[in-house]
Chains A and B, each alone.
Chain A
Amino acid sequence: MVTRSGMVKRRLLRAVACAAVLVAPAARFLAQPAAASAPVSGGTARPKEFGLRDRITVISATSFIPSNRYYNTFYYFSASFGRFVPFDIVDPVSYYAALDIPAGAIIDSIGINSTTDQDQVLTARILQRDYQANVETLASVTSTVHGWTTDYSDPLSISVADQLDKELVLQVEQAASSNFSHDEYFAWVEVQWHRTVSPPPATATFNDVPTTHPFFQFVEALKASGITGGCGVATYCPDSPLTRGQMAVFLAKALGLHWAN
């Protein structure tokens, strides 16, 4: 709860802070914490992106929307290069962004690039919200005191559920702070994930690829995605050699090769 006098005080502080930011941004940037002597994590052997399978989704701080509109415009790029709350705050402030990852993906890590001068001030979370507004936290990472660097939480193994009637949301929360000189900036949130092949269904579509066939799971995935209809009535001909012509059909369908007129 925020008292009325507290609100007045906060608004006054906001006005003062706004003026300070508008007239003397350079002074603020000078007050930033120095670069950390040793990075907390990251920067060494991070995973790679690979084709369609391994992906790293990076959402810049500029794409995050704060829960409080007072903080909406405070994104500095040229000097401090990140989002920050410019005032002392009584309550935590959160920033939100959409996260669009396909069903069946596995989330491997979440990272936040930030600079903080108070311990555990910035926390990034992956939230899943369902159609009845139930919110579940799937993963989180909290920064420690350091200059600009990236903190990771990994390895994670979070299965992204069927996205129908659900959404994923990224949240960055800044804890309450009582000192105007404290600067907690974040620059981006990154989510590393990879696609998976669906687990095998209970029953077989093709008579020549029964549930015990070593390629059963993969042939069923091709069938379910519409890439193949088999080689005849309820058969797939798994042991037939593939002709270059057949492969052209598979690839063109699989990759959705559609050129404009």
Chain B
Amino acid sequence: MSRNRRWGTVANLEAGVLIAVLNLVRPGGVAAESPTVAFPLSRIRTLPKEFGVQDETRTVISALAFNMQSYFDYDTLGNLARYCTNCQSLVSEYYATLDLPAGAVIDYIGVNNTTSSDGVLGFALYQRDRNAAKNVLANFSFPAHGWDTDFAGPLAILVPNHSDKELVLNVEQAASPDFQYFAWVEIWWHRTVSPPPATASFGDVPTGHPFFQFIEALRASGITAGCGVAKYCPDSPLTRGQMAVFLAKALGLHYPF
């Protein structure tokens, strides 16, 4: 432990320079699987802000919530982080659930970690379908540094319809004589409005209407049925009473019994 801490201090001092150099010399990334997220991994200090339910949402999965694949002697916590205690010759894998809604767009993925040499810790985001086929949505490996967060992005990964699929986070440690820790994974994402359908539901909101996409989204989600038979009345003024219906349905306002 003390050995690791000493090393961490030195690496912290050099981390900035190291990352800058890596960004220049390894633009294509190092991971073998594709599609590979392009470097640079960097300590982004201008991340978007969290904002309500629509704009950037930061989902943080602690290393505590990651499970290990197989072998018994990897399940140890150090520095409030996951690490492998016996990984001289074995690869260790850590997995966690990522539960995002369909239509979400993942913008950044960050992993807080400390690594003693390049590429020992790697990250992957998988989508697994019902027939056990897995699709790699993102993957990257980390440069050496003391405790810090590596970010990949902007990514623009669209989460498709979620039924009958799952998203799984993976942190992999390659065989190494040194301790490699990670503390958490953070996912920055935002919701999007569905793209417009091919045909119109309301006669007074044709496909060419400037609000067509949004009105169709309200209808498909059950928030509105329109103002009559196959009509939405897009130019009618809204009363406060009508808006109460829109909002209560949209938000699913349900207070305790």
Q: B-contacting residues of A (Cβ < 8 Å)?
A: 21-22, 25, 35, 39, 42-43, 46-60, 62-63, 72-78, 80-82, 102-105, 111, 113, 115, 147-150, 161-162, 164, 187-188, 190, 192, 194-198, 209, 213, 215, 217-219, 221-222, 224-225, 227-228, 231, 236-242, 246-247, 250-251, 254-260
Contacts between chains A and B (CB distance < 8 A), count: 236
Q: A-contacting residues of B (Cβ < 8 Å)?
A: 49-54, 65-72, 74-75, 93, 95-99, 101-103, 126, 128, 130-132, 134, 161-168, 170, 191, 217, 220-223, 237-245, 247-257
| B43, chain A: closest CB distance, angstroms | 18
Contact of A73 among B70, B168, B239 (CB under 8 A): B70
Contact A73 B166 (CB under 8 A): no
A236 vs B170: C-alpha distance when bound (angstroms): 51
Contact of B164 among A42, A50, A52 (CB under 8 A): A42
| A81, chain B: closest CB distance, angstroms | 5
A56, A161, A196 — most chain B CB neighbours (10 Å): A56
A39 vs B68: C-alpha distance when bound (angstroms): 30
| A223, chain B: closest CB distance, angstroms | 9
Residues of B near A80 (CB, < 8 A) are: 132
Contact of A53 among B72, B74, B223 (CB under 8 A): B223
Contact B68 A56 (CB under 8 A): no
| B127, chain A: closest CB distance, angstroms | 11
Residues of A near B245 (CB, < 8 A) are: 215, 218
Residues of A near B253 (CB, < 8 A) are: 197-198, 218, 221-222, 224-225, 227
| Closest A residue to B159 using CB positions | A49
Nearest 9 Cβ contacts at the A-B interface: A195-B252, A104-B254, A238-B241, A46-B163, A60-B97, A221-B253, A49-B102, A218-B248, A62-B95
Contact of A242 among B49, B243, B250 (CB under 8 A): B243
| B125, chain A: closest CB distance, angstroms | 12
| A91, chain B: closest CB distance, angstroms | 21
Given A46-B164, A51-B221, decide whether A259 and B49 contact each other with a Cβ distance below 8 A. Answer: yes
| B249, chain A: closest CB distance, angstroms | 6
A113 vs B129: C-alpha distance when bound (angstroms): 9
Residues of A near B242 (CB, < 8 A) are: 215, 242
A241 vs B243: C-alpha distance when bound (angstroms): 10
| A213, chain B: closest CB distance, angstroms | 8
Residues of A near B170 (CB, < 8 A) are: 77
| Closest B residue to A197 using CB positions | B248
Contact A196 B53 (CB under 8 A): no
A209 vs B251: C-alpha distance when bound (angstroms): 21
Contact B238 A242 (CB under 8 A): yes
Contact B249 A218 (CB under 8 A): yes
Residues of A near B251 (CB, < 8 A) are: 52, 195, 225, 254
A221 vs B255: C-alpha distance when bound (angstroms): 7
A195 vs B65: C-alpha distance when bound (angstroms): 27
Contact A209 B241 (CB under 8 A): yes
| Closest A residue to B239 using CB positions | A239
Contact B70 A62 (CB under 8 A): no
Contact B250 A53 (CB under 8 A): yes
